[in-house]
Amino acid sequence: MGEVKKLPMTLIEGHANVIIKVDERGEIVDVLFQAVDTRMFETLWVGNPVDELPRITPLICGLCSATHHICSAKAVDGVKGVEPPETAKIIRDFMNYGIHLSNHVMYLTVLGLPNFLSEGENERSMLKLAEVKPELVKAGMMLVELGYKVVKVFGGREIHPINAVPGGVASAPSSSAVEGLAKLFEEKKRVVE
């Protein structure tokens, strides 16, 4: 008779398993991916005014709250048939660029690279990676911080931003904040190179 092996997925955001079914000869006959948590986030929205969704939705996540914020604002725009002004779209885009920078680098530094640069299952962590490649982890964390600074300038806060509202944005960032961000990018550019 065949066997079913259930392997927990590690180094991912969330919880999941891979289920491998093998036959009597040990041949793989099926592989299933199983997401194991049902979070029921949609219950957060029930009974709330639609205009509140961009404020409520980011609360489901700390790491990528800006993405949830922007997407929910866009969803409300669609429901209301509203097209945000071009400036508001640009501000939302910059918020998105910031969170993409943070999330992609965080994935590589915390979840991805430890799989490739560390040996042994118990050695796969950012802390072990930092022992072997401290300059890589420092540069990664600096880029994560830089991405969150972009989110703060264009979104109002680093985590759970508040600037995207139905139909556009609540405010434009000050020119001094944008100039400060440009200078910071110029300074940090040398670290990345």
Mean pLDDT value of segment 96-125: 82
- Is residue 118 predicted with pLDDT exceeding 70? no
Residue 152 has pLDDT above 80, yes or no: yes
Kindly indicate the confidence band of residue 151, based on its pLDDT and cuts at 50, 70 and 90. Answer: very high
Residue 120 pLDDT: 64
> Cα(33)–Cα(40) distance, rounded to whole angstroms?
20
Distance (Å, rounded) from C-alpha 190 to C-alpha 160?
A: 30
- How sure is the predictor about 3, in pLDDT bands with cuts at 50, 70 and 90? confident
pLDDT of residue 121: 61
pLDDT score for 145:
95
Give the strand order in the sheet containing 16-22: 3-8, 16-22, 28-35
Q: Categorize the per-residue pLDDT at 18 as very low, low, confident or very high, splitting at 50, 70 and 90.
A: confident
Beta-carbon neighbour count of residue 183 at 10 Å? 10
Q: How much is the pLDDT for 45?
A: 86
Query: Residue ranges of the domains in the chain?
Result: 3-35, 41-192
Alpha-carbon gap, residue 104 to 100, rounded angstroms: 6
- Region 43-48: mean pLDDT is 88
Query: Mean pLDDT, to the nearest integer, of 61-84?
Result: 93
Burial of 81 (0-12, 13-18, 19+ CB in 10 A): exposed
- Residue 155 CA to residue 173 CA, distance in Å, equals 8
Q: Per the confidence metrics, is the pTM higher than 0.85?
A: no
Mean pLDDT, rounded, of the chain: 88
Alpha-helix runs per DSSP H in 31-85:
53-56, 65-80
Residue 171 has pLDDT above 80, yes or no: yes
Q: How confident is the model at residue 174 (pLDDT cuts 50, 70, 90)?
A: very high
Pick among 3.50.50.60, 1.10.645.10, 3.30.365.10, 3.30.70.20: CATH of 41-192: 1.10.645.10
d(C-alpha 3, C-alpha 32), whole Å: 14
